[in-house]
Amino acid sequence: MKPDIALMLPRKQKFNRLKIFWVILLVLGVSFRFVNLDRKVYWRDEVYTSLRIAGYTTGELVGEVADGHVISIEDLHKFQRINPDKGVTDTVMGLMLEEPQLTPLYFVIARLWGQCLGSSEQG
């Protein structure tokens, strides 16, 4: 006995509508992520990721900026951009000292990515 094609058609149509819905949802999500990307807020976890991949520790940051003098934007940017004087070892050591629960592989890959493509807040 062959299945009736007419009975199977609505199920396939329902499946196609669901696929179209998910594709539209995905496109909207990607669009919302990249619209006004240059105006997005730099979140706390991104600041700490930048600090780690730059090879600095929180102690170095606090020691530099918490001494009572006015801090320029460039003083802060120094801690968010990869420093050629600091290497992958500094990134891993900073994690070992201050955040041993974090896996260093992500930060090492992020550092290498930043060395190849840049590490500013805008990309």
User: Using one digit for the tens of pLDDT, what is the confidence trace for 2-30?
Assistant: 655 555 556 667 678 888 999 999 999 99
Domain ranges of the chain: 5-35, 39-117
C-alpha neighbours within 13 Å on the C-beta side of residue 11: 5
CB-CB contact of 54 with 92 (8 Å): no
pLDDT category at 38 given cuts 50, 70, 90 is confident
CB-CB contact of 43 with 72 (8 Å): no
The per-residue pLDDT for 3 is: 58
CB-CB contact of 84 with 96 (8 Å): no
> Is residue 122's pLDDT more than 60?
no
Q: Indicate whether this model's pTM tops 0.75.
A: no
pLDDT category at 1 given cuts 50, 70, 90 is low
Whole-number Å distance between alpha carbons of 106 and 88: 12
CB-CB contact of 76 with 50 (8 Å): no
> Is residue 74's pLDDT more than 90?
no
